[in-house]
Amino acid sequence: MKNRTLRAACLITGCLVLGGCAQKAQVAEAPAETKEIPAQTESPEQQETEPPEEETEEPVETEEESETEEVIEEPDYEAVYAPVLEETLDLIINGYDYEKTYDYIADGLIEAVMYPGDTDLSQEIGYAIMDISGDGVPELLIGYDIEKGAKSEVYGAYTCVEEKPVTAFTGWARSSHDYMGDGNFFYFGSNGAMSSLFGKHHLSEDGTEVVWDDFYFSDEKEDGSLGYFHNTTGMYDQAASEELEIPDEEF
Containing structural domain, residue 127: 77-244
pLDDT of 122 reads 87
Q: What amino acid is encoded at 207 in this protein?
A: G
| Count of domains forming the chain | 1
Q: Are 129 and 77 in contact (CB under 8 A)?
A: yes
Residue 31 placed within a domain: no
Alpha-helix runs per DSSP H in 28-159: 77-80, 82-94, 107-114, 121-124
Residue 116 placed within a domain: yes
End-to-end CA distance of the chain: 27
Residue 125 placed within a domain: yes
Residue 43 placed within a domain: no
CA 71 to each of CA 11, 32, 75, 80: distance values in angstroms, whole numbers, following the listed order = 21, 81, 12, 19
pLDDT in tens, the chain (251 residues): 433 344 433 332 333 233 333 333 333 344 444 445 444 555 555 555 555 565 656 656 555 555 566 677 888 999 999 999 999 999 999 999 999 999 999 999 999 999 988 888 888 899 999 999 999 999 999 998 766 666 789 999 999 999 999 999 999 989 999 999 999 999 999 999 899 999 999 999 999 999 999 999 999 999 999 999 999 999 999 999 999 999 999 99
Residue 33 placed within a domain: no
Residue 94 placed within a domain: yes
The rounded distance, in Å, linking the Cα atoms of 153 and 175 is 11
Residue 52 placed within a domain: no
Residue 157 placed within a domain: yes
Task: Tell if the pTM clears 0.85, that is, is over it.
Answer: no
pLDDT of 8 reads 39
| Count of residues making up the chain | 251
pLDDT of 29 reads 42
